[in-house]
Structure 1
Amino acid sequence: MITLYHGKTSVCSAKVRLGLAERGVGWQGRIVNLAGGEQNEDWYLALNPKAVVPALVHDGVTLLESNVILEYVDGLGDGPPLMSTDLLDQARARLWLADCLDIHAAVNTLTYVVSKRRQILAKKTPDQIAASIARMANPANASKRRDILDQGIASPHVDTALFTLRLTFGRMQQALIQGPWLLGQKYSLADTAVLAFVDRLDRLGLDQLWSHDHPAVADWLLTSRQRPSYNTAIESFAGAPELERQNSLSAGHWGLLAPAIGRG
């Protein structure tokens, strides 16, 4: 039996759910209430001391880190795996998996800067915010959260995020010129790993990060969303991307980020 501890809109959780859907692997889920801080409670810290999702438990064994879980899940399905048997393609796919660490940090930064920061500041008192940050298990994550809440768009984390994403979309454009998928003609583990991050940025109304200079990324996102796995793994949990994107555009997320784009 596979049990996935995950967040409804967590991009790393979505990445693993995509892998499960693509490979036709059955699982049961336990939603962790990230907004309520459930990931910092003792029962979850016993499962994952880093206080992040997802965590996958299979036959009593716990697996952590979404990239590791994704490769593990790929081996459980029937039929050809998403990871190629070609050694060079395996290396290329794992380069994308490695890059996901920086991509995740960048997407997390922009999510908080343009959206969650305003929600938190509007709903919580300074004491409540301080208490919430104090509960975070990872001191580096706590420091980053505090800096973004204090400085907003002026946080140096924003410049780091934009640097990472400029490299990412440039690399994606170069890859997608060669074929419809990141490794060429065949959908792979690389596409599975990256989709949730680009989907989140689009939902935030930040597609101008790629739409002008890297148009192949937009085509890739559209094609990826047409796969059945997208509805199963992302849309059924996060809702329709069009509606969220429209709300983000109305909220002026891109305009809020524009000054930081200008700094670059």
Structure 2
Amino acid sequence: MNKHDPITLYHGRTSVCSAKVRVGLVEKGLEWNSELLDLKAGEQFDPAYLALNPNGVVPTLVDGDLVVLESSLILEYIDSLSDRNPLMPTDPKAIVATRHWLLKCLDIHAAINTLTYATIQRSSILATKKPDQIAAMIARIPNPKAAAKRRDIIDNGLESAHVDGDLHALFNTFTEMSAALGRGKWLAGERHSMADIALIAYIDRLDRLGFDALWSGRFPEISPWLEAYRQRQSYLDAIEAFSPADVTAKMRTQGSAHWPRLEQKWQAYLQNR
């Protein structure tokens, strides 16, 4: 086994991208230093953190003088740090399939972000912040495109144009997942791999929001995959341990309140397929 000094991960407790990197770290058995940011308090916008990650998002991995951004890239990097439990398959077709999923995570993350903010996050923000506070919060987002999206979603919720586009991205994701899981137990075949790590936090988030009906009827292969993953120690240590039962229960209750309208939009999308 390769020896390596502990790396440092800047992450958020319930951030889906942070969660998937934590899963990878546990699977690899790597030691790492935790720098947990309070995202609700806006610690990701502190100047010291922005010097590491100018986008003001998590996670960020620091290894000596190397700073690695983007969760999918971080997964590949940590896999290179140790020979223990290789996360990337060796079969060329499986490698291509895995890297395909890593690239798709950009669209998948955008969709999960949209549904989270258009439902429970929007409700919380509108209930606790005044208009000037909301404006100030959005003004701290460094990326103008991301700031404009956040403004639109807070203003319009599930009626935001971003929702329709991201439902399309999720439909494509579920379709490809269903096909892959019809061929093997895991996304890249019979062996658990980085492809599964890349997606677990996103599907888990949708389930915690009470949105599992997005796939449970039309794409039944996904639920057994999710339940199988929830038996892995990496899930328990990297996701479950950061999501107390009361927090999950509250998230599901709040999310379920938005499900009727989301279901209407989802069914309308499916009818036009």
TM-score (norm 1): 0.96
Residues 203 and 244 of structure 1 are in contact (CA less than 8 Å); yes or no, is this contact kept in structure 2?
no
Structure 2: distance between partners of 1:263 and 1:36? 37
Partner of 1:60: 65
Structure 2: distance between partners of 1:246 and 1:88? 37
Partner of 2:3: none
Partner of 1:158: 163
Task: Give me the CA root mean square deviation.
Answer: 1.5
Structure 1: distance between partners of 2:137 and 2:194? 35
Does residue 145 in structure 1 map to residue 147 in structure 2? no
Partner of 2:223: 218
Change beyond 3 A, Cα 1:26–1:244: farther
Runs of 4+ in 1 over 6 A off after TM superposition: none
Which of residues 79, 103, 107 in structure 2 aligns to 1:102?
107
Partner of 2:124: 119
Residues 10 and 53 of structure 1 are in contact (CA less than 8 Å); yes or no, is this contact kept in structure 2?
yes
Partner of 2:55: 50
Which of residues 80, 87, 94 in structure 1 aligns to 2:92?
87
TM-score (norm 2): 0.93
Query: How many angstroms does 1:56 deviate by?
Result: 0.5
How far does the alpha carbon of each residue in 1:79-132 deviate from its partner, in whole angstroms, 9 at most, with x for none?
Answer: 340101222211110000000000000000000111100100010000100011
In structure 2, give the amino acid aligned to 1:197.
Y
Residues 11 and 59 of structure 2 are in contact (CA less than 8 Å); yes or no, is this contact kept in structure 1?
yes
**Aligned to 2:67, what secondary structure does the other structure show?**
strand
**Aligned to 1:252, what secondary structure does the other structure show?**
helix
Q: Which ranges of structure 2 fall in alignment gaps of 5 or more residues?
A: 1-5
Residues 154 and 260 of structure 1 are in contact (CA less than 8 Å); yes or no, is this contact kept in structure 2?
no
How far does the alpha carbon of each residue in 1:139-166 deviate from its partner, in whole angstroms, 9 at most, with x for none?
Answer: 1110000000111111110001100001
**Aligned to 2:8, what secondary structure does the other structure show?**
strand
Does residue 179 in structure 1 map to residue 195 in structure 2? no
Partner of 1:5: 10
